[in-house]
């Protein structure tokens, strides 16, 4: 790890100004991903701007029943918050499914959304990687890609987004509050993260110096009947092979509405809009759930060694929807 300068921001505007002044600087929150990347030599900022003292650590209820979650909220605090557990259980479950207890105690909501892929080629500076060094190539396409993308990838990148929490937030239609050089604005989810295309080094639509200040979760009455299910190679401290965040509204055996997102399958938390549309107004049965899953996954383009993810994603989604139906 090379030497770097350190500055503690006094407020959001001064933090943004610091990165405007030093384009080689990066924000420091919990540091659970950034510090690892610095040790590996993947990230080498010349200055860290500490935003931990200025990022809100509050979870506030809005008038319509939604939530405003400060970017500085620790993951462990988010997962155990009574309102989150009651109104958006899949969000609490997704946080608890990620990392370890010690890391959740340090990691922040804002940082969780911005964590980088765990593709082994990205993390190994001795290997080419278009995400780390644009134009150098993507050896994962012909190399080790068992746990990489099956949807939305490009010839330049087949990496997946690692966050569990982001999958639940994408399903819930969260709104990300951002402070930047041009002032304050909001970015919807899905919409914050981007597919690799021919710019795989850009994980999000955020501009240089943008700082996430909060995440708004809109009110959704049937989100109380939601679940996050994660399939991984070991029982803890492992990234998703496939995951599903789903909320289901069923009345008289018919799906009135639903929200579904998939993790571990794409460069972004993948909102399953095709499956959602297919399910609305359909019978809440395993047959219809399977049909909707197949429609969503028809766009999958698996690589040589990760085709197993397609039936796995189908089965995990169908099982999750069945469980939610039986619980309603």
Sheet of 175-180, strand order: 59-61, 67-70, 211-217, 175-180, 183-188
**Spatial CB neighbours of 54, under 8 Å, sequence gap ≥ 6:** 9, 10, 11, 12, 15, 72
pLDDT reading at 97 higher than 80: yes
pLDDT at 63: 87
Q: Rounded CA gap, 74 and 104, in Å? A: 7
pLDDT at 78: 97
pLDDT reading at 328 higher than 80: no
Q: What is the pLDDT of residues 19-74, one digit of tens each?
A: 999 989 999 999 999 999 999 999 999 999 999 999 899 999 988 889 999 999 99
CATH of domain 227-326: 3.30.390.50
pLDDT reading at 312 higher than 90: yes
Q: What is the rounded average pLDDT for all residues in the chain?
A: 96
What are the sequence ranges of the domains in the chain? 227-326
pLDDT reading at 138 higher than 80: yes
How many helices (H) and strands (E) would you count in the chain? 12, 12
pLDDT at 249: 98
Token pair of 103 as six digits = 């890391």
CA distances (Å), 294 to each of 26, 147, 212, in order? 41, 20, 35
DSSP string, 104-118: HHH-BHHHHHTPPP-
pLDDT reading at 193 higher than 80: yes
Token pair of 200 as six digits = 């795989």
pLDDT class of 2 with cuts at 50, 70, 90: confident
Q: What is the pLDDT of residues 15-33, one digit of tens each?
A: 999 999 998 999 999 999 9
Q: What is the pLDDT of residues 100-136, one digit of tens each?
A: 889 999 999 999 999 999 999 999 999 999 999 999 9
pLDDT at 235: 85
**Average pLDDT of the residues in 244-271:** 98
Task: Read off φ and ψ for residue 192, nearest 5 degrees.
Answer: -70, -50
Nearest residue to 187 (alpha-carbon basis) of 223, 214, 165, 208: 214
When comparing pLDDT for 94 and 2, which is higher? 94
């Amino acid at each position: 790890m090379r030497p770097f300068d350190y500055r503690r921001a006094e407020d959001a505007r001064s933090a943004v100004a610091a990165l405007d002044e030093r384009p080689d600087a990066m924000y420091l929150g919990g540091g659970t991903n950034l510090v690892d990347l610095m040790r590996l030599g993947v990230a080498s900022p010349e200055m860290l701007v500490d935003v931990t003292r200025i990022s809100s650590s509050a979870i506030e209820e809005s008038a319509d029943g939604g939530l405003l979650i400060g970017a500085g909220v620790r993951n462990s605090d988010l997962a155990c918050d009574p309102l989150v557990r009651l109104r958006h259980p899949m969000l609490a479950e997704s946080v608890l499914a990620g990392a370890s207890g010690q890391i959740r105690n340090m990691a922040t909501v804002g940082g969780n959304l911005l964590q980088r892929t765990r593709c082994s080629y990205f993390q190994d500076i001795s290997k080419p990687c278009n995400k780390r060094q644009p134009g150098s190539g993507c050896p994962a396409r012909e190399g080790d890609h068992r746990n990489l993308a099956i949807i939305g990838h490009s010839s330049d990148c087949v990496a997946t987004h690692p966050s569990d929490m982001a999958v639940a937030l994408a399903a819930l239609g969260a709104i990300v509050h951002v402070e930047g050089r041009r002032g304050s604005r909001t970015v919807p989810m899905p919409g914050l993260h981007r597919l690799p295309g021919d710019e795989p080094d850009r994980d999000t639509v955020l501009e240089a110096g943008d700082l996430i200040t909060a995440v708004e979760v809109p009110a959704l009455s049937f989100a109380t009947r939601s679940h996050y299910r994660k399939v991984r190679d070991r029982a803890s401290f492992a990234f998703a092979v496939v995951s599903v965040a789903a909320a289901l509204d069923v009345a008289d055996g018919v799906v009135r509405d639903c929200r579904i997102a998939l993790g571990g399958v794409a460069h972004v938390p993948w909102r399953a809009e095709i499956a959602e549309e297919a399910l609305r107004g359909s019978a809440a049965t395993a047959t219809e759930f399977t049909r909707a899953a197949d429609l969503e996954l028809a766009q999958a383009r698996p690589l040589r060694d990760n085709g197993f993810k397609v039936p796995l994603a189908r089965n995990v989604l169908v099982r999750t929807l069945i469980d939610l139906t039986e619980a309603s």
